[in-house]
Amino acid sequence: MGYIPVLVVAAVVFLVGCGTTAEEPSSAGGTASAEAASFLFAAETMDGEPFKGAQLAGKPSVLWFWAPWCPTCRAQAAGVTGLAERYDGRITVVGVGGLADVHDIRDYARQVPGLTHLIDPDGSVWRHFGVTAQSTYVVLDAEGGVVAEGYLDDHVLADKVADLAG
């Protein structure tokens, strides 16, 4: 693919914004097969290690879909890091970096400590969860059921995580 189509796609994504919408987060759970399907993905961590979605089974999880150039994502980083620290061992927090090249994703991920970062430059994990815009959260219960998804402000996300942590 040439540089011009890539620049056009990047410009369109940038002009659309950082994924903030007026939609309410979903709170509907799925069926048992839909829940199990939440864990059927694979990716690579920032450190180049393989990561399988099945590693999330048995503990509630927060997946944060971000892009390194997104100002909303950058503003959320401290809150996501705080959640990962506060609920360490009880909730798994995973950042899924995309919509950029691997180098840019890794550079930004290094600035957001305390969580596992997945490198997803081709968007396969984003597509798996139906994510179409950054910054998006997908909050899963221990069985992989979707508890909330979409743009969540810090307070809504904190409340959802507190409920899951018990």
Q: Which two tokens stand for residue 47?
A: 């450190």
- Are 92 and 61 within 8 A, CB to CB? yes
User: Looking at domain 26-165, does it have CATH number 3.10.20.30?
Assistant: no
Work out whether the CA dihedral 82, 84, 30, 124 comes out positive or negative. Answer: positive
- Residue found under tokens 């890794």: 106
List, in sequence order, every residue forming a beta bridge with 118; answer none if it has no partner: 45, 96
pTM of the shown model:
0.79
Q: What's the pLDDT at 38? A: 83
List the pLDDT tens digit at each of the 166 positions of the chain: 454 443 333 433 333 344 433 333 333 344 444 455 789 999 999 989 999 999 999 999 999 999 999 999 999 999 999 999 999 999 999 999 999 999 999 999 999 999 999 999 999 999 999 999 999 999 999 999 999 999 998 999 999 999 999 8
Q: Which residues make Cβ contacts (< 8 Å) with residue 140, sequence separation at least 6?
A: 38, 56, 60, 61, 62, 63, 146, 147
∠ CA 31-144-113, nearest 5°, is 155
